[in-house]
Amino acid sequence: MEVLSQSSRRPLSARELQERAQAHHERLGLVTVYRTLEILERLGLVRRIHAEGSCHTFIAASPGHRHAITCERCSMVTEFDGDDFCLQISQVEATTGYRVSGHWLQLAGLCPTCRVESRE
C-alpha cells in the first residue's frame, strides 16, 4: 500500500510494485505481490486498472463507489463518483431480466495536461 500511495495516481503493474517494494523487503516474490493485490482489491483498498495491450495495473482506491478514467497518453488515473450508474443498472435489469451482481466501468481519454500539450 505504501508503494501504491507513492505512485501519484499512476497505476503500477505487479512487477513494478514488486521491484519498488524490494527496496524494503528484498526477498519479496511476485506471487506474494499478486496474492496481496487480490486481497487488497477484495477489501476495496486497491483498484484494478485495465492497461490496453498489457496486464492489469493497480492504484490505491479512494473510499466509496468510484470509477476510473485513464489518460491514454500519460496513464494517469482519476477516479470519479459512480453512484449515478446505479439507475442504469436498474434499467438493464428491467430490460434483460438479469440480476446484476457487479460491474466494472473504466473510461479512457486525454487528461487536461495532455489535452493542452496536444492542443485539443
User: Over the stretch 11-28, which tens digit does the pLDDT of each residue have?
Assistant: 999 999 999 999 989 999
Q: Model's pTM, two decimal places?
A: 0.76
What is the structure's pLDDT at 63? 83
What is the structure's pLDDT at 26? 92
Give which of 59, 40, 36, 41 is closest to 49, Cα–Cα: 59
What is the structure's pLDDT at 79? 87
Give the span between the Cα atoms of 105 and 101, in whole angstroms: 14
What is the structure's pLDDT at 120? 61
* Mean pLDDT computed over every residue of the chain: 88
What CATH number matches the domain at 2-118, 3.40.50.800, 3.40.50.300, 1.20.1560.10, 3.30.1490.190? Answer: 3.30.1490.190
Contact 85/103 with Cβ under 8 angstroms? yes
Query: Is 36 a residue whose pLDDT tops 90?
Result: yes
Strands 46-49 and 57-60: what pairing?
Answer: antiparallel
Give the span between the Cα atoms of 66 and 89, in whole angstroms: 15
What Å distances lie between residue 21 and 43, 49, 76, 77, CA to CA? 20, 20, 21, 21
